[in-house]
Amino acid sequence: MLIETGFILAAGFGTRMGIIGKSVPKVLWPIFDTTLLGLQIHFLKDLGIKNIYINVHHQKELVIDYCEKNFPDINILVENEILDAGGGVHNFIEKSKISNSFIVLNSDQFFKVDIEQIRSKLSLESYHRAKLFTMNGNSDYSSLNLNQDGRLIGISTKVDGPMFIGLSIVNPIGLKASLGKSKFFETVCNYKNESIYTQALEGDFLDFGDIEKYHKSAFKLFAFLQENKEKRDDWIHKKIISKNKLYKESYGCEQGGVLNFSDLAIKNQYVEKTIVLKENTSPKLVKYKSIVYNDVIQEVNY
């Protein structure tokens, strides 16, 4: 059955984003001329998803205002109390009254994958509860234990197995309702009682889950765009990036090694590996690779 609906988990507190995260919800952290949330919305639209929902909680007014201005066709579900991923999915099912399989997507990643590879695998057997998309590689969190058929049988603390990349398809039919806060692998993808299968993808996965990963992944994404003309041209067309901001070794700044995601042109001298979210700081105060937001200078160490 054709999948037409996607649900983006966007209600987190952003506690891993340092002091800047207290002012800017993680889903609204800039990436070139869009945001982390904007990347996920464009991704779902590229897959052909027609109905997109997001949940909001932390600094919900900012997220709602952003969506109304930039993506007015998005459906917004306000969570008055944080429900975690599992509870968020159940709340979405209850509020949307959906009866067909749908995509669940985290809001803090980017897939360096041929979109056709994913689109061709957007299906789910009616007798399966869910399909989790995976990639091979070291995970900072955990990996999945699978049987020979690719069925999920456990979560491992080892970091060298197949990792769940925050993209899944869920079948809501027959799923036992769970009110309130709950974990995704407890009330949605309970592999101990349900048939949860996996689908491996070829490619790479960029994680923006905390402030250091955001910094590292932003520069990796910039390098990927410099090497991939097709993706670069596509993003220029979609206004995710601006052609006149692209330099050989920087974005929005003539100085090499700087990513300027602010609305202002920057000519000042920053140290290499600086990301500017909002310009209002003397570059002389930046001594190490950092993320700059107004007067806040958040150094990163990796």
Break the chain into its structural domains and give their ranges: 5-207, 225-299
* pLDDT over 90, % of the chain: 84
Average pLDDT, the chain: 94
The residue ranking higher by pLDDT, 142 or 259, is 259
Question: Above 90 in pLDDT, residue 57?
Answer: yes
The residue ranking higher by pLDDT, 57 or 12, is 57
Selection from 88, 94, 100, 95 nearest residue 177 by Cα: 94
* pLDDT over 70, % of the chain: 98
State the CB neighbour count (10 A cutoff) for residue 244.
Answer: 9
Reported as half-sphere exposure (CB side, CA atoms, 13 A), residue 72 has a value of 1
The predicted pLDDT at position 285 comes to 79
* Bridge partners of residue 266, in order along the sequence: 253
Question: Average pLDDT in the 74-101 region?
Answer: 97
Contacts of 227 (CB under 8 A, 6+ apart): none
Q: In what helix (H) or strand (E) does residue 133 lie, and over which residues does it extend?
A: strand 130-135
Question: Average pLDDT in the 45-64 region?
Answer: 97
* Bridge partners of residue 298, in order along the sequence: 291
Selection from 142, 130, 147, 145 nearest residue 197 by Cα: 130
The predicted pLDDT at position 281 comes to 66
Q: Cα(5)–Cα(261) distance, rounded to whole angstroms?
A: 30
Reported as a pLDDT band with limits 50, 70 and 90, residue 139 is: low
Q: Cα(263)–Cα(287) distance, rounded to whole angstroms?
A: 23
Under DSSP, is residue 52 helix (H, G, I), strand (E, B) or coil? strand
The predicted pLDDT at position 14 comes to 83
pLDDT digits over 185-206, tens only? 999 999 999 999 999 999 999 9
The predicted pLDDT at position 106 comes to 98
Question: Average pLDDT in the 218-241 region?
Answer: 97
Q: Cα(103)–Cα(172) distance, rounded to whole angstroms?
A: 11
pLDDT digits over 90-122, tens only? 999 999 999 999 999 999 999 999 999 999 999
Reported as half-sphere exposure (CB side, CA atoms, 13 A), residue 65 has a value of 6
Under DSSP, is residue 301 helix (H, G, I), strand (E, B) or coil? coil
The predicted pLDDT at position 31 comes to 98
The predicted pLDDT at position 138 comes to 62
Given a contact cutoff of 8 angstroms between Cβ atoms, the answer to whether 168 and 111 are in contact is: no
Question: Average pLDDT in the 211-233 region?
Answer: 97
* Bridge partners of residue 52, in order along the sequence: 6
pLDDT digits over 260-286, tens only? 999 888 877 788 999 999 986 677 778
pTM over 0.75: yes
Q: Cα(240)–Cα(40) distance, rounded to whole angstroms?
A: 12
Question: Average pLDDT in the 8-16 region?
Answer: 92
Q: Cα(48)–Cα(257) distance, rounded to whole angstroms?
A: 35
The predicted pLDDT at position 284 comes to 74
Query: Buried b / exposed e across 142-166, counting CB within 10 Å, b at 16+?
Result: ebbebeeebebeeeeeeeebbbbbb
| CATH superfamily of this structure's domain 5-207 | Spore Coat Polysaccharide Biosynthesis Protein SpsA; Chain A (3.90.550.10)
Question: Above 80 in pLDDT, residue 213?
Answer: yes
Q: Cα(61)–Cα(38) distance, rounded to whole angstroms?
A: 16
Question: Above 90 in pLDDT, residue 141?
Answer: no
How does strand 258-260 pair with strand 274-279? parallel
Q: Cα(144)–Cα(133) distance, rounded to whole angstroms?
A: 11
Question: Above 70 in pLDDT, residue 234?
Answer: yes
